[in-house]
């Protein structure tokens, strides 16, 4: 018998086909994870390991070389803004050039080489350059990578494809901080050398990306090179279902502030520094373990349903944080938070890819990612203002209420 998948036919002898339902489920599920999906997932795993290795020590390192908290804030804000806008542009450029692999390889390479630059050159201008280089690398690769993932799936397997990639990507957020903790245990306060250590998984990511081969079914039509903001035109040209979906996702992003606020709340509730880092690793572990199963379930019951469930869990977590629970409840809340992330991050991109043409997938996802990055900046600003003016508990409760309103929007407006 033959099965058509991702534009190709796979042939099997009937006497080799699995005999029971569980084996059949495993068989079909793993066939959905193609060579390209594996490579992209490993590249993301290595890159996230390098990035998350430095995430806990970045503010400490920057302060040690003379950065003020204001300068750190400007650095992060500027880098994220550039990354956000570049996602839209490079997504559009990838569709325009009908190429995916060069964007993926260049994007991950820039992120890898930016790490040692931050350690070798400690002047503020070089730090800004290196941090921006890292974020631009993310902007270059995001749309093209997600378009590659989408091309390896059919609508019935989008959830598991994006879910598997998120699982592998987030596993790096478990390994990275663990390696950093181990390194700093043996070499306390040697932050600068950790940036050189982070180059190792970065080089592994570059090496793995070299195994990618361009495989496009897009018709060869010469197009003009887009301008930096030309991706904004896609919003006007996109379908109504796409705009309805993205408006809902952006409304959610506008209140989805940095995880730093959750960790700060846990710290102020009595958790030690080690426990805060531990609970962050725990959250990422749950996220990594749950993303692939959530993708499989979403393919069975519907992507939108799982997305709404994820947002519901997010609201529960924020309401829980707002009512000052006992310390042991924080582990339950971060467990739910990991499941929330698994039910929304990959699923949202799978939904978007289903609403875009194959030759516009990178633009569709890149446009959404650009707007999402801008909303994320506003989200943390809004949370900071609420925290200062209304108090810690009110910040979480207001976010929970806003999330419930977004859920109602998805139930009523989004098809």
In the prediction, which pLDDT does 69 show? 55
In the prediction, which pLDDT does 184 show? 81
In CATH terms, 33-216+229-412 corresponds, of 1.20.1250.20, 1.10.1370.40, 3.50.50.60, 1.10.3720.10, to: 1.20.1250.20
pLDDT above 80 (res 368): yes
Q: Spell out the domain ranges in the chain.
A: 33-216+229-412
pLDDT above 90 covers what percent of the chain? 35
Instruction: Write down the pTM of the prediction.
Output: 0.79
Question: Do the Cβ atoms of 255 and 403 come closer than 8 Å?
Answer: yes
d(CA 410, CA 249): 9
In the prediction, which pLDDT does 409 show? 96
Mean pLDDT throughout 383-405?
Answer: 88
d(CA 124, CA 75): 9
Q: What is the per-residue burial (b if ≥16 Cβ within 10 Å, else e) of 329-349?
A: ebbebbbbbbbbbbbbbbbbb
pLDDT above 70 (res 13): no
In the prediction, which pLDDT does 16 show? 43
Mean pLDDT throughout 8-19?
Answer: 40
In the prediction, which pLDDT does 25 show? 41
d(CA 395, CA 339): 22
pLDDT above 50 (res 5): no
Mean pLDDT throughout 65-79?
Answer: 67
Q: Which long-range contacts (CB under 8 A, 24 or more apart) does 278-283 make?
A: 279/330, 279/331, 279/334, 280/56, 280/177, 281/174, 281/177, 281/178, 282/331, 282/334, 282/335, 282/338, 283/259, 283/334, 283/335, 283/337, 283/338, 283/341
pLDDT above 70 covers what percent of the chain? 85
Question: Do the Cβ atoms of 219 and 380 come closer than 8 Å?
Answer: no
Residue 76 pLDDT grade (very low, low, confident, very high; cuts 50, 70, 90):
low
In the prediction, which pLDDT does 73 show? 60
* Two tokens, residue 405: 């309103």
In the prediction, which pLDDT does 312 show? 96
Residue 373 pLDDT grade (very low, low, confident, very high; cuts 50, 70, 90):
confident
Compute φ and ψ for 253, nearest 5 degrees.
Answer: -65, -30
d(CA 43, CA 203): 10
In the prediction, which pLDDT does 224 show? 61
pLDDT above 80 (res 226): no
d(CA 410, CA 122): 47
* Neighbour tally for 71: CB within 10 Å: 15
pLDDT above 80 (res 232): no
Highest mean pLDDT among 69-73, 225-229, 274-278: 274-278
Degrees (nearest 5) of the Cα angle 190, 258, 323?
115
In the prediction, which pLDDT does 304 show? 93
Residue that has been written with the tokens 């996802």 in this structure: 365
pLDDT above 70 (res 220): no
Q: What is residue 211's three-state secondary structure?
A: coil
In the prediction, which pLDDT does 388 show? 82
Mean pLDDT throughout 41-66?
Answer: 82
**How confident is the prediction for the chain on average, in pLDDT?**
82
pLDDT above 60 (res 103): yes
pLDDT above 50 (res 202): yes
Compute φ and ψ for 9, nearest 5 degrees.
Answer: -105, 135
In the prediction, which pLDDT does 59 show? 67
Mean pLDDT throughout 115-128?
Answer: 80
Degrees (nearest 5) of the Cα angle 106, 109, 114?
125
pLDDT digits (tens, 9 = 90+) for 286-331: 999 999 999 999 999 999 999 999 999 999 999 999 887 888 888 9
């Amino acid at each position: 018998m033959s099965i058509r998948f991702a534009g190709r036919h796979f042939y099997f002898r009937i006497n080799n086909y699995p005999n029971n339902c569980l084996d059949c489920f495993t068989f079909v599920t793993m066939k959905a994870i193609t060579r390209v999906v594996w490579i992209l997932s490993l590249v993301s795993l290595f890159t996230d390991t390098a990035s998350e290795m430095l995430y806990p020590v970045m503010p400490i390192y920057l302060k040690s070389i003379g950065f003020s908290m204001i300068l750190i804030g400007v650095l992060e804000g500027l880098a994220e803004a550039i990354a956000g806008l570049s996602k839209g542009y490079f997504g559009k450029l990838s569709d325009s050039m009908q190429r995916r692999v060069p964007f993926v390889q260049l994007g991950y390479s820039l992120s890898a080489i930016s790490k040692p630059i931050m350690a070798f050159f400690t002047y503020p201008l070089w730090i800004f350059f290196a941090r921006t280089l890292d974020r631009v690398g993310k902007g270059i690769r995001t749309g093209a990578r997600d378009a590659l993932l989408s091309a390896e799936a059919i609508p019935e397997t989008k959830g598991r494809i994006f879910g598997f990639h998120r699982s592998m990507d987030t596993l790096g957020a478990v390994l990275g901080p663990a390696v950093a903790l181990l390194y700093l245990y043996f070499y306390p306060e040697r932050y600068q050398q950790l940036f050189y250590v982070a180059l190792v998984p970065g080089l592994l990511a570059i090496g793995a990306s070299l195994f990618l081969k361009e495989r496009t079914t897009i018709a060869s039509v010469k197009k003009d090179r887009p301008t930096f903001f030309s991706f904004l035109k896609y919003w006007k040209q996109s379908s109504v279902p796409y705009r309805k979906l993205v408006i809902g996702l952006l409304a959610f992003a506008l209140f989805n502030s940095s995880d730093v606020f959750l960790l700060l709340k846990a710290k102020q509730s009595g958790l030690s520094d080690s426990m805060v880092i531990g609970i962050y690793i725990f959250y990422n572990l749950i996220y990594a373990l749950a993303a692939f199963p959530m993708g499989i379930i979403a393919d069975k019951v519907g992507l939108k349903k799982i997305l709404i469930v994820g947002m519901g869990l997010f609201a529960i977590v924020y309401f829980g944080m707002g009512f000052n629970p006992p310390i042991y409840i924080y582990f339950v809340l971060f467990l739910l938070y990991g499941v929330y992330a698994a039910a929304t991050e990959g699923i949202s991109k799978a939904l978007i890819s289903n609403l875009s043409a194959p030759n516009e997938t990178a633009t569709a996802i890149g446009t959404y990612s650009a707007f999402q990055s801008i909303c994320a900046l506003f989200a943390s600003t809004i949370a900071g203002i609420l925290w200062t003016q209304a108090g810690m508990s009110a910040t979480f409760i207001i976010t929970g209420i806003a999330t419930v309103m977004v859920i109602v929007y998805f139930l009523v407006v989004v098809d």
